[in-house]
Structure 1
Amino acid sequence: MTVIDFRTYPVQLNELYEMDPSLKGPVKEIFGFYCGSQPLSTLIGQLDVAGIDKAVLATVDCTTARGAAVVPNEVLAKLVAKSDRLVGLASVDPRDPSAPHQLEHAVESLGLKGLNLDPALQQFQVADEKAAFPVYEKANQLGISVTFQMGLNWAPLARLGDANPVALERVATTFPDLRIVIAHCAWPYTMEALALAIKHPNIYLDTAILYSARPESSLAAVYANQYGLDVIEASLREKIVFASDYPRVDPKRVARAVRMLGLRPLTEKMILGENAATLLNRKAAQ
């Protein structure tokens, strides 16, 4: 079984700052990460301990809203190239008219495998036809998935009111072939996220539910107590992807939290890797 951590951020890697020391500013001021850095080999070691085969590195382009990208796509691609255990998700600024072109470049030229957006941090409305829809159209044409950071966001500048997933229904219906991942199950909007994932075949959820200091209790509270394991087995086994949100959380603890749920082996296998592998494979051009 291949285990894939569908979303990590490279903000703790020495190699990032060796490439561009100026990124320390956006990482602290925009992303809100203040800890020291460590070599990529340490992350690889953490993946080994957690039983994770691949990590997906993500970034957020906040150029219009905050003045910078947390990590530029070009730098992210160079980090990904350092290990065959890394995959990259691009980010673009939907409020930049050139965003669709930038996304195409990130996928076709840089080899990044999907798109990561954070409406609360990037300060855009997900159902904005003028700004956001051209980006979704390009993602749809490229056959990649789009992850939306929804719900509680630990970045200090993000606002919870901008991260309600309900508006994604319009995106899902306008672009029925576009695969959409609602990060964090949009906690505290978890029931809204559940309804969307059950109703729409192109909406997925992830396991990076981070409202407590213990991923084990956070995941159990949402998946076992709110959703119910029977609902996951019946309706969501193909719709949940494993993601840790590293370095905010140790991937080992999130992987353990998934395994502690007591799901059927096939369901656990799909959540820990198979569903992510499907999302990382580009669909035929739309």
Structure 2
Amino acid sequence: MILDESRDIFIVSESWLTEVNQKCITSEIRSSLGGYNFFSCPRTGRKGGGVAAFALGALDVKVKVTKPYKSFECLDLTVKTGSIVLRLVVMYRPPKLCTVSVFFEEFSELLETLIPAEGRLFICGDVNFHVDDVENRDAQRLLDLIHSLGLVQHMQVATHQKGHTLDLVITRAFDPYPMNIAVDNTLPSDHSLIKFSVDVTRPAYKRTVREVRDVKSIDADALSSYFSDNLFPSVGGMSSDEAAVSYNSHLETMLDTLAPARTKIIINDNGYRMLTLPRSYSPWWMK
């Protein structure tokens, strides 16, 4: 799905990655999603939880070191594209990990560090509060906190199969708002997939010059003949180093003869995926 719709960033709240399984799963992810970098903050000590993000390889993404919080999990990223800096914070609050008072204390502390930070701020994730419920005191307290700090919560529709809004997209009030916000309920999950776009220019296309050889076209009989006639010249009187140099030289000559090098120019956006048409907006997904 990420590749089909050419999404630039895809974030996951509750990835279920742990310190034990992350290495194996991350390897599989990278092999199947060529052209994307993967960032993860796995849960420690027990299953579930964890937050993660995929980002297009052409984006300059750095992980910010944050203090460990008791009441929620957090992945703090800076994303640079051209002259634009985005601050993307992915979070997940387990509903029964800590008391609500601890969460508000820690979340307030996090917000106070993020508000003056460089770049356009995006805080995305599952907070496990029904912010659509005006009778829910904790949810209204969260919205009051967000508003009091000059932030805006953009999700106004249900993001959970039971009809509540648990997954949030938060920005500063004076930053450009996310565009084309929509929810997608086609995935096999009790939470909706949230899609939105950010008005930034995508990274410039890369023009890569590579030297390639068509080794698959080498004729087997010609290769065998070359080995017999040329590969093993007399090495009498040569030192081991001189013999190795001679061997390598003959291998290079063989390649130049049977599979000459040629220059290939590749124009792409991430080193892997060929471009079709340029896009003005950078679409994001959040799960």
- Which structure would you say has the larger Rg? 2
Q: TM-score, normalised by structure 2?
A: 0.38
Q: TM-score, normalised by structure 1?
A: 0.38
